[in-house]
Structure 1
Amino acid sequence: MDFYRRFFIIWLLLLLIDIIYATSRIQPKRVTAEYGSDLSLSCTFPEEDSDKTIVQWLYQNSTDYHSNHRSNKIYWRPLFLNSQLLTSSETRYSIQQKSQQTNDTSVTYSTILTLAKVTESDEGLYMCKSLSPKLIQMTYQVRVIQSLDITPKQIIIPADELGQYSIRLNCILTDNHTGRRHEIHWWHNNKRLGTNSNRHARITKNSTQHSFISTLFYTGEPANIAGSYICESDPLRKSVSVHLEANKSSGIILNFNKNK
């Protein structure tokens, strides 16, 4: 029996047994995507034999999820079997696979699923499963928001300002869905900020019907305030770079260059 025929038989068995009715539910990792952006989900497995590595990507949208709860059955739609696309109705999905030597004896296999220009219809659960030589799987819960932004775009510090100075940044997450909770975290120069872990930082939270606002108050010498600030709703990140510049009026300007 040639390789392709065996591969096809294995695929049919997986669809009948492993895909349609999953035997257990795994606690998913929650990720946030911004409407219209690209989102990549990755899984990495130890690779013992590349010729025998079989990896599936499966999908369960919000409609499937609620139907599953009513019927007490767990149904997953197949997306990819290794690099083979299994749904012709969705062309915005792509797959990337690579192997990497981690040390003299170990090799890891990574598979990356990318969703182009996500919409609210992409919300749901995504699972990757390595079926040989042993079962390994990981699940993501994808939620789509309208936007994530940081304000203000510019702060001016007077040149004669001495000692401690404070800035205020707002990270605004807009979500058309009501009743959902979101976690927003702040970073300064690659260091996680928190009221309890950094005496220069104070973070407050507020929310409206469709917006979640995290406000960062940062206090310190002007030179210490400068740097990169990031607000994050995993894995979505928005950043501003803060620079000190002397202008013609002898002031110091902190310019915010917004990056996605």
Structure 2
Amino acid sequence: MYFHQRLFVIWLLFLTIDIIYADRRTQAKRVTAERGSDLSLSCTFQDEDSDKTIVQWLYQNVTDSNINHRTHKIHWRPLFLNAQSLTPSETRYSIQQKIQQINDTSIAYITILTLSKVNESDEGLYICKSLSPKTIQMAYQVRVIQSLDINPTEVLISTDEIGQYSIRLNCILTDSHLEERHHEIHWWHNNKRINTNSNRHTRITKNFTRHSFISTLFYTDEPANIAGIYMCEADPIRKYIPVELKSNQSSDLLIDLYLIFIIEILLSIFQW
């Protein structure tokens, strides 16, 4: 019991220091989440003893941040202290902890915060902080978009195609706050990042509407080189589309009928 009381006092102390020195934080990693999906944020800390590792998760809502900038106050919502939930009424938050042995004297302490069915109210700054003697923290700036879609959903290229062939793929990011923030979309082909500067066969264009950012990939090459799995990414959201080579069954059927017709003619001639 005494240990838990001591742990709680230490947490309060570090939380107070955390608020006082909030402006000295490390650069936050920008993370995009799709509304209705699950989002996981992870932090890894190296320590000598897992029993002495104390990690806290804190959250600052976008709305709170905007209000506090005017009042010169910083308001953080504590989420977890190690595996202990500090917001038991919020059931969409969960925590997972892993411990990996690095060597004889140190371990890697991994903590993963998961938000289920995210919505716009979850936007904001998330910080995980190790309260070990060597204080380490990581920060995530979470933004929630409405959707990320790719169309068409699949592309079939006939094996009868000869020479150069062109495809067009659209990746559409829908965000009600598009005018207020910047997004990046990247394309991949068979797990290789598409770089239009080094690939003369590809071209990427960007278009904007009021709430949509559209990245369009144009690819012209031989069908065998075009085929594969394509991915558009708005980190960490990824959407996939297959481009497949498929034989023209109708053409094959015509060829079969033609061969049957020729065979019947030959048989009739021989019988005659």
Task: Report the TM-score, using the length of structure 2 for normalisation.
Answer: 0.86
Any residues of structure 2 matched to 1:59-78 within 5 Å, and which? 59-78=59-78
Check conservation: 1:194, 1:203, Cα contact below 8 A: no
Q: Which one is further off, 115-124 or 223-232?
A: 223-232
Deviations along 1:173-204, one digit per CA (max 9) or x if unpaired, are 01111412211001111111121132332111
Any residues of structure 2 matched to 1:1-260 within 5 Å, and which? 2-19=2-19, 22=22, 24-102=24-102, 106-179=106-179, 180-250=181-251
More helix as a share of residues: 2
Query: Tell me, what secondary structure is at the counterpart of 1:163?
Result: coil
Superposition deviation, residue 109 in structure 1: 1.2
**Residues paired across the two proteins, number:** 251
Q: Which one is further off, 156-165 or 28-37?
A: 156-165
| Paired-residue identity, % | 75
**Larger Rg over CA atoms:** 2
How many Å separate the matches in 2 of 1:44 and 1:250?
Answer: 58
Superposition deviation, residue 106 in structure 1: 4.6
Check conservation: 2:156, 2:246, Cα contact below 8 A: no
Superposition deviation, residue 246 in structure 1: 1.3
How many Å separate the matches in 1 of 2:154 and 2:51?
Answer: 55
How many Å separate the matches in 1 of 2:41 and 2:90?
Answer: 17
How many Å separate the matches in 1 of 2:11 and 2:29?
Answer: 26
Q: Which one is further off, 31-40 or 9-18?
A: 9-18
How many Å separate the matches in 2 of 1:160 and 1:244?
Answer: 9
The letter for the 2-side match of 1:221 is: E
Deviations along 1:119-161, one digit per CA (max 9) or x if unpaired, are 1110111111111031111111111111101001233434432
Query: Tell me, what secondary structure is at the counterpart of 2:249?
Result: coil
How many Å separate the matches in 2 of 1:9 and 1:143?
Answer: 33
Deviations along 1:88-127, one digit per CA (max 9) or x if unpaired, are 3311000001012345655211111000000111011111
What RMSD in Å do the two structures reach over aligned CA positions?
Answer: 2.0
Superposition deviation, residue 4 in structure 1: 2.1
Q: Which one is further off, 183-192 or 17-26?
A: 17-26
Check conservation: 1:54, 1:130, Cα contact below 8 A: yes
How many Å separate the matches in 2 of 1:39 and 1:197?
Answer: 34
Check conservation: 2:160, 2:248, Cα contact below 8 A: no
**Alpha carbons of 1:154 and 1:17: their partners in 2 closer, same or farther (altered >3 Å)?**
closer
Query: Tell me, what secondary structure is at the counterpart of 2:41?
Result: strand
How many Å separate the matches in 1 of 2:38 and 2:129?
Answer: 22
| Structure 2: runs of 5+ lacking an equivalent | 253-272
Query: 1:257 matched to which residue of 2?
Result: none
How many Å separate the matches in 2 of 1:69 and 1:150?
Answer: 38
| Structure 1: runs of 5+ lacking an equivalent | 252-260
Task: Report the TM-score, using the length of structure 1 for normalisation.
Answer: 0.89
